Amino acid sequence: MDAHPLLLAGALILLDLALWQYLGPLKRSVRTVLRVLVFLLFCRVMIAAGISPLQPPPWPEDAVRNLLATVLGIGWWLFAARTLTVILGHGLTSRVGQNARLLHDVMGALIFLMAIVGAAAYVLQLPVKGLLATSGAMAIIIGLAVQSTLSDLFSGIVINTTKPYQLDDWVSIDGVEGKVLEIDWRSTHLQTESGSVAVVPNALAAKAKILNHSRPGAIHGVSVTLAVPSGVAPRLVLDALDKALQGTQALLPGHAPKVSIKSAQLEFNEYELKGFVASRSGRSNVRNLMFDLAHRHLEAAGVTWGGAVQAWSRQRQLLEEARVMRALSVEERDRLAEAMTPVDFQANQVLLAFDEVADGLMIIATGVVSVAIHDGERMVEAGRMGPGEVMGEEGILADGRSRGQFRSLTSGRLFRIEKALLGEQLQHSSDLLMALDKLQHQREGIRETVVLKKPQPVKKHGFLRRLLS
C-alpha cells in the first residue's frame, strides 16, 4: 500500500497543532468545531490507510511503515483524548463558566490516562494488567511524595463543587483579603487592596474561615471606631454618635445602623459605629464621612480631646467652622457671635419651608437636618446637614425663596443671625457676599443634578461634599 495516507495523517496532526496555536482570537465554539473536523478527517485517512487503533499495524515485514503506523495509532488515541477534552471543556464553560477550569483539567487528565492505557493495550499489545499493577505501585509512591500537592488538588475540586466563592468575588481567606482572580488546581489567587497578588493554597482555603464580602451583593458593612476620654458620660457620646449615623445619608435605611461601646479603658472608651452601604467601592468615602460627622457632633456636644479647653463660646466656634463666615475678620466674628440668637428645635420640625423667604441666616449647632427639594411631583431628599452648616442664604442675598425644605431629623439647636444685622456686614464685606453667592450657586447645581440629572462640574466642599457622598 502507498505510504501517502500515512504521511497525510501525520500532516493532519501537525495541522491541528498549528490551527490550535494560531486561532486563539476566535471564539471557543469555532475552535472546537475546527478541532472536531480535523479529527474526523484524520479518522478517514486512518481508515483509508488500513490502520485500526484497536489492532497492531498489519505490516510487520515493513519496519518503516510498521513504525509509522504504530506512531499514528498511538497518535489517534491521544488525538481522540484531546478532542474529547476540548468538547467537554466547551460544554462545562458554557454551563458553569470559568469556574469549571479545575474540574476540566482533572477530567482531562483522567481521559488522557485512559487513552495511554488504551494505546498500550491495543496498539502496542502490552500486558495491561501487569502495567496497571506496576502503575498502581508507582502511584502510591508518587502519591506519598506529593501528598501536599494532591491535598491542594482535591481541595480545589471541593471548592469548585461547593463554590464558597467564585471569580471576581471579594473574599477574606485566613486573614488574607482580596478579589478572586483565578482558581487553579493548586491555589486561589487574590488581588489585594494594595495591588499585589496573594496565592492561597487550596488545602488551606478548604480548612480556613472564609468571609465572602460579595454575597449578598447589595449590602456591604462599614464600621468606624472612635476613642473618647473616659471622663465623658457614655450617654452623651452615644447620643452624639447616633446623630452622626443619622446624618450619613449613604447608609442603607433598611438596615438600621447602630452605635455601641466596644471596650472600656482607664483613660478612654472605644465606641463603634456600624452601618451598611450598597456598594463596596463607596465604603471608604462613607467611612471618612462618618469620621467627620462623628467628630463634629461630638464637638457640638462639648466633647474635647487631650485636655483641650474651649476658648470660645459655642456660637463663636460655629462662626469658625462655617466656611462662609471665614470671609469676616476676627473682630467682626466676635461682634456677630454676641448677637446670635439660640433656637431649640425638636425632631421632625420644619425649620425652613419650601418657597419660604428666610428672614435670617441659620447655623446648625447640634442635631441633624434633612434637605428635600421638589422634583416637579414630590419632595425628594437631596442630603443631610449637621453642625456648622448654614441655611437661608437665598433670603439674605435678594429676598429669594428657599429652593428646598429643611426638616429636622433629631432634636437640636441652631443659632440665628438676623437679616438686618447681617445686611450691615454684607455692605462692608464683599468677600462675605461672594461666599454666600457661591454657596447658593453650589446648592443650585446640586438641585439640577438631582432633579434634571445634569452632572455639575463643581468643587466639592463642605455641605456640597456631604450631599454628593
Residue 30, pLDDT score: 73
Q: Would residue 154 count as lying in a domain?
A: no
Which of 300, 326, 343 finishes a domain? Answer: 300
pLDDT at 410 over 90: yes
Query: Rounded to whole angstroms, how far apart are CA atoms 138 and 349?
Result: 82
Range of the domain at 321: 314-468
User: What is the distance between the alpha carbons of residues 419 and 422, in angstroms, rounded to a whole number?
Assistant: 5
Question: Do residue 328 and residue 464 come from a single domain?
Answer: yes
Select, from the ranges 8-22, 78-92, 388-402, the one with the highest average predicted confidence (pLDDT). 388-402
Instruction: For strands 341-345 and 412-418, give the pairing.
Output: antiparallel
Confirm whether 152 is domain-assigned.
Answer: no
Residues 54 and 131 in one domain: yes
Of 20, 76, 87, 19, nearest in space to 43 by CA = 76
How confident is the model at residue 274, as a pLDDT?
93
Predicted TM-score (pTM) above 0.85: no
Rounded distance, CA 95 to CA 427, Å? 74
The residue-averaged pLDDT of 153-161 equals 76
pLDDT, greater one: 225 or 208: 225
| Contact (CB, 8 A) for 352 and 416 | no
Q: Please report, rounded to a whole number, the percentage of residues in the chain having pLDDT higher than 90.
A: 19
DSSP state letter for 254: T
Are 248 and 360 part of one and the same domain?
no
Cβ contact 229:298 at 8 Å: no
Asked whether 165 and 212 are in contact (CB, 8 A), the reply is yes
Same structural domain, 273 and 367? no
- Is there a single domain that holds both residue 371 and residue 388? yes
Report yes or no on 244 lying in a domain: yes
Q: Tell me the mean pLDDT in the region 388-392.
A: 89
Of 147-151, 157-161, 367-371, highest mean pLDDT = 367-371
Instruction: Give the integer Cα–Cα distance in Å for 75 and 381.
Output: 71
User: Distance between alpha carbon 94 and the CA centroid of its chain, in Å?
Assistant: 26
Q: The CATH number of the domain where 389 resides is what?
A: 2.60.120.10
Mean pLDDT (whole number) for 435-458: 71
Numbers of helices and strands, H then E, in the chain: 15, 16
- Please state which of the ranges 19-23, 279-283, 364-368 shows the lowest mean pLDDT: 19-23
Q: What are the contacts of 175-183 at 24+ separation with CB within 8 A?
A: 176/200, 177/211, 177/213, 183/99, 183/101, 183/102, 183/156, 183/159
Q: Is residue 227 part of a domain?
A: yes
Is 364:387 a contact under the CB 8 Å cutoff?
Answer: yes
How far is 440 from 462, CA to CA, in rounded Å?
Answer: 13
Whether 22 maps to a domain, the answer reads yes
289 falls in which pLDDT band (50, 70, 90)? very high
- Of how many residues is the chain composed? 469
Q: How confident is the model at residue 466 (pLDDT cuts 50, 70, 90)?
A: very low
Residues 318 and 464 in one domain: yes
Q: Provide the residue type at 230 as one letter.
A: S
CATH number for position 240: 3.30.70.100
Quick one: how far is CA 284 from the chain centroid? 11
Same domain, 260 and 339: no
**Residue with the larger pLDDT of the pair 141 and 196:** 196
Rounded distance between C-alpha atoms, residue 246 and residue 258, angstroms: 10
Do you find a cis peptide bond into 216, omega within 30 degrees of 0? yes
Residue-level pLDDT at 341 = 92
108 with 89: CB under 8 angstroms?
A: yes
Q: Check residue 307 and give left, alpha or beta (phi > 0: left; psi -120 to 50: alpha).
A: left
Residue at 355: amino acid letter: D
- 334 and 229: one domain? no
Give the per-residue pLDDT at 135.
Answer: 58
pLDDT of residue 370: 93
pLDDT surpasses 80 at 239: yes
Looking at the DSSP assignment, which residues form a beta bridge with residue 271? Answer: 226, 261
pLDDT of residue 291: 92
Let me know if residue 48 belongs to a domain.
Answer: yes
Q: Which tens digits make up the pLDDT trace of 86-139?
A: 787 766 655 555 455 656 666 777 888 888 877 777 777 777 656 555 555 555
Could you tell me where the beta strands, DSSP code E, fall in 184-335? 187-191, 197-201, 210-212, 220-229, 258-264, 268-277
Q: How far is CA 230 from CA 195, 234, 236, 243, 372, in A?
A: 39, 8, 12, 20, 38
Q: Which residues are CB-contacts of 457 (< 8 A; sequence separation ≥ 6)? A: none
CB-side neighbour CA atoms (13 Å) of 460:
7
Q: What is the CATH number of the domain that holds 190?
A: 2.30.30.60
DSSP 3-state percent helix, strand, coil across the chain (nearest 5): 50, 20, 30
Taking alpha carbons only, the member of 178, 246, 249 closest to residue 210 is: 178
pLDDT at position 464 is: 41
- Is residue 196 domain-shared with residue 112, that is, in the same domain? no
Q: How far apart are CA 123 and CA 422, in angstroms?
A: 102
Residue by residue, DSSP assigns 295-325 as HHHHHHTT--STT----S-HHHHHHHH-GGG
d(CA 314, CA 452): 39
260, three cell numbers: 455601641
Residue 27 shares a structural domain with residue 128: yes
Residue 461 lies in a domain: yes
Q: Is the pLDDT of residue 455 over 70?
A: no
Domain count of the chain?
A: 4
What band does 442 get if pLDDT is binned at 50, 70 and 90? Answer: confident
The verdict on residue 12 lying in a domain is yes
Residues 225 and 187 in one domain: no
Q: Which pLDDT value is given to residue 114?
A: 83
C-alpha cell at 338: 454676641
Mark whether 291 and 189 lie in a shared domain: no
pLDDT over 70 (residue 78): yes
* Strands of 1-68, DSSP E: none
